[in-house]
Amino acid sequence: MISTTRLILVRHAEVEAQYQGVFGGRIDMGISARGHAQAAVLAKFLSRQKLDALYVSPMKRVQQTLAPLLNNGAPQPNVMPDLREVDFGDWTGLNFEQVLKRYGVTASSWLDGMERGTIPNAETGATHRARVEPCLRQILARHGGQTTAIYCHGGVIRMMLAILLELPLPKTEAFRIDYASVTEVLVGPERTRIDLLNFTPWRHHPVAVA
């Protein structure tokens, strides 16, 4: 009998102020003071769950978000380079207003732009999927019937949801994926369903930044 696998998809905490509201992508920024506080609350929340495995992006903002969890008896993390964030090409480092001014497009439609390959020098939906999907399939194959946490990025979580729920990537715009959020997906032999979407433990336990 094939049992259900639980995937806990975790987005990194709030990034440094100068990178908030921009297409950070491959910029290897750190998290803010508030982000560190969010990460601590997130770790306390996740430490209550029995994790069989832990997979992580190598990027600094993810590693810093992960750090408090590693002090709470978490499994040894498996770093997967292909869990890094989307490469936004020429949009990297630009905010929404700058994208509109330079390229004449509404940056909020970036998922459509990725899918159609219209963001200059950026990953397309197809190329992004080609590196994320093997990671996802490998994790599912290794940890069937177990609970696995994946610490990564908003763009990677959207792609995983698109794959698991068999949705076109732009349809995932309907899902909020906030900083330091938890989304849980149950992958069964006959169906896949979202069990928890964009839960932010730090909103229930407000973070204080000195």
Q: Give domain 5-86+124-204's CATH number out of 3.40.50.360, 3.40.50.1240, 3.40.50.10490, 3.30.60.50.
A: 3.40.50.1240
Average pLDDT over residues 159-186: 97
Query: Using CA atoms, how far apart are residues 1 and 189, in angstroms rounded to an integer?
Result: 9
The pLDDT mean for the chain works out to: 95
Tell me the mean pLDDT in the region 3-20: 97
SS (H, E, C) 87-152: CCHHHCCCEHHHHHHHHCCCHHHHHHHHHHCCCCCCCCHHHHHHHHHHHHHHHHHHCCCCEEEEEE
What gap in Å lies between CA 61 and CA 75, rounded to an integer?
19
CB atoms within 10 A of CB 193: 12
Render pLDDT for 42-64 as a digit per residue (tens, 0 to 9).
999 999 999 999 999 999 999 99
Q: How far apart are CA 195 and CA 7, in angstroms?
A: 10
Give the mean pLDDT of 150-173: 97
Q: What is the pLDDT of residues 106-157, one digit of tens each?
A: 878 999 999 999 999 999 999 999 999 999 999 999 999 999 999 999 999 9
- Residue indicated by tokens 């994208």: 99
**Domain extent listing, the chain:** 5-86+124-204
Does the pLDDT of residue 209 top 80, yes or no?
A: no
Residue 119, pLDDT score = 96
Please give the pLDDT value at position 3.
87
Amino acid identity of residue 181, one-letter, is S
